[in-house]
């Protein structure tokens, strides 16, 4: 039986989760932020595709399972406290956000207002049909 020492080294929060930043490997764009539990992280590494823990639905969430916008793992990093992960990915379909945008971080603070600065690449109705 494999012990997976690397999995044991991750420091999970009181809910058994770890925050994960997904970054597009090629561009450096931060695409989204999500959470993983132990099972999600193990599956992410073993399958080479991002699997998160959906806190709202309380279940594993294979990113792209509905939209087809999966994320291929390019590299996995861990921070100095072993309690945050940085997942560098190739974003299939170029769209990470459920709004149909490239990145979830499409609102920019400008002159005291949140301004939408990224275009919708594909309408959600078309993505989730």
3-state secondary structure of 86: strand
By CB under 8 A, how many residues form the interface with a second copy?
Answer: 37
129 contributes a contact to a second copy by CB under 8 A: no
Among 5, 14, 125, 126, binds a second copy (CB under 8 A): 5
CA distance 73 to 50: 7
Among 17, 32, 40, 89, binds a second copy (CB under 8 A): 32
DSSP character at residue 93: G
In the stretch 104-123, what mask flags binding to a second copy with x, by CB under 8 A? xxxxxx--xxx---------
Among 38, 62, 98, 122, binds a second copy (CB under 8 A): 98
Chain centre to alpha carbon of residue 77: 13
Of 35, 30, 40, 50, the closest CA to residue 101 belongs to: 30
Torsion from C-alpha of 34, 85, 121, 94, nearest 10 degrees: -140
CB of 20 to a second copy, least distance (A): 10
**Residue ranges binding a second copy (CB under 8 A):** 4-6, 9, 19, 21, 23, 27-30, 32-33, 45, 75-82, 84, 86, 97-99, 101, 104-109, 112-114
């Amino acid at each position: 039986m494999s012990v997976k020492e690397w999995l044991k080294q991750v420091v999970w929060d009181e809910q058994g989760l770890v925050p994960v930043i997904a970054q597009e490997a090629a561009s450096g764009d931060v695409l989204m932020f999500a959470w993983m539990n132990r099972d999600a992280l193990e599956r992410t590494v073993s399958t080479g595709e991002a699997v998160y823990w959906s806190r709202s639905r309380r279940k594993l969430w294979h990113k792209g399972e509905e939209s087809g916008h999966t994320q291929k793992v390019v590299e996995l990093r861990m921070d100095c406290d072993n309690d945050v992960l940085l997942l560098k990915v190739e974003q299939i379909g170029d769209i990470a956000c459920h709004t149909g945008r490239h990145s979830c971080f499409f609102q920019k603070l400008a002159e005291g207002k949140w301004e939408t600065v990224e275009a919708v690449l594909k309408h959600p109705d078309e993505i989730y049909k």
